[in-house]
Structure 1
């Protein structure tokens, strides 16, 4: 009887042994597969890391080339700027390491945007990098597009304070766009920052309570965004653009933008908007180097004027002082002056992308849909005002700038002046009377003028006063209350040849699959 039992035990042992062997084989196979998968995944990640190292090398090369890369491509003319090319090229990366023993290597190409030659101030580049691993050869490719950062992207930017006098961000202010200062940011009360905030000094509360609200944590930069770069860009981008394909005014002049008088009588006809130049410089107006002849004004023949119909993008440069009168602009224009620029009235878009008109009435989507100056309800109008010196709001005409009171709503005084556009003063933006010629602290008594409603952005080297000694409850004081509203289109658009910061904005990143 024992032998059958011994046979059963032997059979059971054999079956168990076979099962264990099978399990061990399966486990070993799984371990080997997991190891292989992990190795392949690590190799894939290493290839992508090499590609990203290549992208970083391409960006560093662009930055080292001072934003005007000279091409090293064998097909390029010696010294040719890459912005004038339309095809990709391989940059000479110099001392940047491209091969990593035991890991792999990367290659880099740079593809300038086809529109760079026409608009170098806003040049964009697509950097493509491929990383290939050693051993098991795996290649992954990534591409990144970057674009020169325009000063026009800022709602407020200033380098320092005029005469070192701090100007506070106050509790009444709600700032919906990027704000940067190469100095301290002074706070009084509870201003609200709904866009990114950066500074190089410190955030200083000048009085209690001090409770600013930030949508994003403010960023302290180690290095300032160099405002002197703007003068370089003014000279290297804006001036050549005006001379080559725009308008140059050779002497002091008064300018305005307006709809053609005949078109006003024919609302269903063509929508032509013009630049009108009068004053001393009327005999010194050139388009692409060719003089434009002045003609008598239709209403007053004693006044000579130059009229030019705006079509497409236009850069206008005044070699001397420019005075800008009440204007309605249709098109994309940068008006620049190598001397001071004075503003004497509203400057507004023909298609208003803002929420309010200059008279305080609201603007609706229906208004834009019914406006022939709009493109399917969208505004394509864009203005840059740039002075190599000061931009000054002149309120001396009391018919245009009467004294205002805080009625009917104390929190929202009436609009005293509306400026739509990105405004850049390479010295100071201020109101006439805020500062004396002798730099004394005495300020003129010009009366309270209501709100300075700026729809766009304000960039200046020295932040200047627009209002002083203003009592928020009574309206007593002089100048304007600030009412700066961000034009969100400026995050992706810039007026023609508007000065850039010398930095780059990130536009897009994508991996390119085979």
Structure 2
């Protein structure tokens, strides 16, 4: 029987002669593809911030350039519009209007504000065959390297645009209560108003004030303006030249009211005109040379010529120029 002490000695002997094998384990380290990760991250972050800064600066520069171009474009547009307005005003006061059909430069690189403008006038090819001339105004505004162009077509209008138009009031002509004018009113002279007439169109006068009667309570439904440029009336020579530029035969209706004769013309809404010529006999009685003769406005070639004074009334249906010499 083996005692506990004997078993202990045997165990020690076994341990003494047992071979032990040792293996050296290298220290743990990161794989080769993870070396310098922090450095790469730092470099990458630096590059990202650099690119972001460049993009930000480029965006700011682009926005600044866009703002500059927008400002220049706006300024160029207003310069072009200025040129158009000045050309229209210039054209309005040409007497007679520019002839021919060749375009020409009216304003050439006129400096204004931050840039300049140039305006060319292009007459219509049919201007030589018509009394109502037509033109194309082409205005170019330039600021820096930016150009803006505006084109406007303008056409001469007739005096039938107005419900009432005078160059000289020839004394005092009162507008008073009960008068209703359904259209624009203009006089190069002072307009006399009393009571409460109704002006449905705009009222303009080259005078600086109205001749106000009492009471004075007019109804200007479209307002009024004083001190405006006068309307230029064509001379008899202008009318004659314009007539012959589009007609090869004399005027259809020529009324002789010379000497002691008197003439009256009445326009009717059906497109006709009724006219009469008379004189006074020794007893002062009216003797008609022509009584209530009728003509069609459409057949008058646009002109009624009266040698002498004439009274005119009625409603005109059509377009015609009446000349009284």
**Equivalent runs, 1:393-412 vs 2, <5 Å:** none
- Report the CA distance between 1:173 and its aligned residue: 1.8
Q: Is the 8 A contact 2:273 2:295 kept in 1?
A: no
Q: Report whether the alignment pairs 1:331 with 2:298.
A: yes
**Equivalent runs, 1:87-126 vs 2, <5 Å:** 88-91=102-105, 93=106, 96-98=107-109, 100=111, 106-120=117-131, 122-126=132-136
Distance 1:32 1:133 in 2: 20
The secondary structure found in structure 1 opposite 2:139 is strand
Report what 2:35 is aligned to: none
The secondary structure found in structure 1 opposite 2:178 is coil
**Equivalent runs, 1:19-168 vs 2, <5 Å:** 28-56=57-85, 58-59=87-88, 62=91, 65-69=94-98, 81-82=99-100, 85=101, 88-91=102-105, 93=106, 96-98=107-109, 100=111, 106-120=117-131, 122-134=132-144, 137-162=145-170, 164=171, 166-168=172-174
Q: Is the 8 A contact 1:332 1:382 kept in 2?
A: no
Distance 1:347 1:101 in 2: 50
More helix by share: 2
The secondary structure found in structure 1 opposite 2:129 is coil
Q: Report whether the alignment pairs 1:244 with 2:233.
A: no
Aligned length in residues: 266
Q: Is the 8 A contact 2:128 2:245 kept in 1?
A: no
The secondary structure found in structure 2 opposite 1:382 is coil
The secondary structure found in structure 2 opposite 1:44 is helix
Q: Report whether the alignment pairs 1:388 with 2:324.
A: yes
Q: What TM-score, normalized by structure 1, do the two folds share? A: 0.42
Higher Cα radius of gyration: 2
Q: Structure 1's 203 and 248: CA in aligned 2 closer, same or farther, altered over 3 A?
A: same
> Aligned Cα RMSD in Å?
4.6
Q: Is the 8 A contact 2:115 2:143 kept in 1?
A: yes
Q: Is the 8 A contact 1:327 1:348 kept in 2?
A: no
Q: Structure 1's 278 and 29: CA in aligned 2 closer, same or farther, altered over 3 A?
A: closer
Q: Structure 1's 205 and 247: CA in aligned 2 closer, same or farther, altered over 3 A?
A: closer
**Equivalent runs, 1:188-227 vs 2, <5 Å:** 188-201=194-207, 202-208=209-215, 210-227=216-233
**Equivalent runs, 1:81-480 vs 2, <5 Å:** 81-82=99-100, 85=101, 88-91=102-105, 93=106, 96-98=107-109, 100=111, 106-120=117-131, 122-134=132-144, 137-162=145-170, 164=171, 166-201=172-207, 202-208=209-215, 210-227=216-233, 229-238=234-243, 240=244, 244-247=248-251, 252=256, 325=292, 327=294, 329=296, 331=298, 333=300, 334-341=303-310, 381-384=317-320, 386-389=322-325
Report what 2:3 is aligned to: none
- Report the CA distance between 1:197 and its aligned residue: 0.6
- Report the CA distance between 1:25 and its aligned residue: 6.0
Q: Which runs of 5+ in 2 are unaligned?
A: 1-42, 258-262, 278-288
Q: Structure 1's 35 and 256: CA in aligned 2 closer, same or farther, altered over 3 A?
A: closer
Distance 1:276 1:222 in 2: 36
Q: Which runs of 5+ in 1 are unaligned?
A: 1-13, 70-80, 258-272, 280-321, 350-380, 390-514
Distance 2:169 2:77 in 1: 46
Deviates more, 1:52-61 or 1:177-186: 52-61
Q: Structure 1's 43 and 332: CA in aligned 2 closer, same or farther, altered over 3 A?
A: farther
Higher RCO (Cα < 8 Å, 6 or more apart): 1
